[in-house]
């Protein structure tokens, strides 16, 4: 079974540019999450999809961030326009349907975003 994949692994852009991160969850996982870790700080929750619907987007920092999950499969996270403080590692995770401790969240390797 393939794990959660994320693309690209690294992205370096200039302030004001647009970047789109992609996450492919494990096949059959209805839940998809985005998290972000700014250097040296905690990993923070951004949002949670159940299939194509946003279940919880309380962690989205501002309206420069747009997440989509068309068709309930892969998800994209677009940052437009990027600011210096958006630099960090963006993690995606997926889990099976249902809110339970046994629905383990499986993480991707992350996308390291650097905004210059």
Partner 1 sequence: AQTVTQSQPEMSVQEAETVTLSCTYDTSESDYYLFWYKQPPSRQMILVIRQEAYKQQNATENRFSVNFQKAAKSFSLKISDSQLGDAAMYFCAYRTLSYNTDKLIFGTGTRLQVFP
Binding site for partner 1 (CB under 8 A): 3-4, 31, 33, 35, 40-45, 48, 55-56, 58-59, 91, 95, 99-101, 103-110
Q: Which is nearer to partner 1, 13 or 50 (CB)?
A: 50
At closest approach, how far in Å is the CB of 49 from partner 1? 12
Which of these, 23, 10, 11, 5, lies nearest to 82 by C-alpha position?
Answer: 11
Q: What is the CA radius of gyration of the chain?
A: 13
Residue 111 beta carbon to partner 1: minimum distance, rounded to whole angstroms: 12
Closer residue to partner 1 in complex, CB, 18/53: 53
Cβ atoms of 75 and 92 closer than 8 Å: yes
Least Å from the CB of residue 108 to partner 1: 6
Burial class (CB in 10 A: 0-12, 13-18, 19+), 92: buried
Residue 43 Cβ, how far from partner 1 at the closest point, in Å? 4
Q: Between residues 33 and 79, which has the closer beta carbon with respect to partner 1?
A: 33
In terms of Cα–Cα distance, which of 89, 81, 82 is closest to 107?
Answer: 89
Residue closer to partner 1, measured from CB, 23 or 82 = 23
Handedness of CA 70, 72, 75, 79 (dihedral sign): positive
């Amino acid at each position: 079974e393939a794990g959660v994949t994320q693309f690209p692994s690294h992205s370096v852009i200039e302030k004001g540019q647009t970047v789109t991160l992609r996450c492919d969850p494990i096949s059959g996982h209805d839940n998809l999450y985005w998290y972000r870790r700014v250097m040296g700080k905690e990993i923070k929750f951004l949002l949670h999809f159940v299939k194509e619907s946003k279940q919880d987007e309380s962690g989205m920092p501002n309206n420069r961030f747009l997440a989509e999950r068309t068709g309930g499969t892969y998800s994209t996270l677009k940052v437009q326009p990027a600011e210096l403080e958006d630099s960090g590692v963006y993690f995606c995770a997926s889990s099976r349907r249902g809110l339970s401790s046994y629905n383990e969240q499986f993480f991707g390797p992350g996308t390291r975003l650097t905004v210059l």
